[in-house]
Amino acid sequence: METLQILAYAKLNLSLRVVGRRPDGYHELQSLVTVVDLADELTLTGGEQGVTLDAPAELGPPERNLAVRAARALLDPAGPGVRIVLRKRIPAGAGLGGGSSDAAAVLAGLNSLLSLRRSRKELQQIGASLGADVPFFLGPSPAWVEGIGDRVTPIAVPLPEAFLILVPTFRCPTPDVYRAFDDLGLALSPPAFPFTAEAQGTSRRCSVAPCVRR
């Protein structure tokens, strides 16, 4: 059985605007996003029947894990399966995209390991069905991200050589943050455009900051 070891990198939203609300409950956003070298470690072993997960118990049941859901979304139930070993390094509930990055890594990793020959666009479409951040992790970084996270445009911007990431002692799950945005009655931001100061990374704006400070 072939094995592939991959890293799933964390992301930082260097700016984030909430520019609209959708009838399905999702929020339209614009964000300048980059990956950083903080990463989860995944080992994929192909050929086993079904999808199994070896991961810390505190991550919850396997069927809710995005890495498992990604594998099941990509693989034919009648075909080869995969065993996923996940070693978490990215803090959960910190807005760093750990679960989405794991899902993207599984999609890209299985595509390579099992020679599935899916295009990046196909993988991003599958990823979008799993979570709004997943398509970003399947493309180049940094990127200008729009919609619910499904429209990703690579963008060349100067970035600092290092970032200091401070992780709070409490969790901030993304759905809770956007729910708080609505509960607080925060105003939508006017849309920005690529190649403005904000998209170039020289200006910072975060529409959801008050939700995290609650």
Q: Give the residue numbers marked as catalytic.
A: 11, 133
Amino acid present at 196: T
Angle at 77 between CA 72 and CA 81, to 5 degrees: 70
- What are the backbone dihedrals phi and psi of residue 174, each rounded to the nearest 5 degrees, phi first? -55, -45
Give CA–CA dist 149/11, Å, rounded.
13
3-state secondary structure of 9: strand
CA dihedral in degrees (55, 59, 63, 66; nearest 10)?
-90
Question: Which run of H or of E encompasses 177?
Answer: helix 174-183
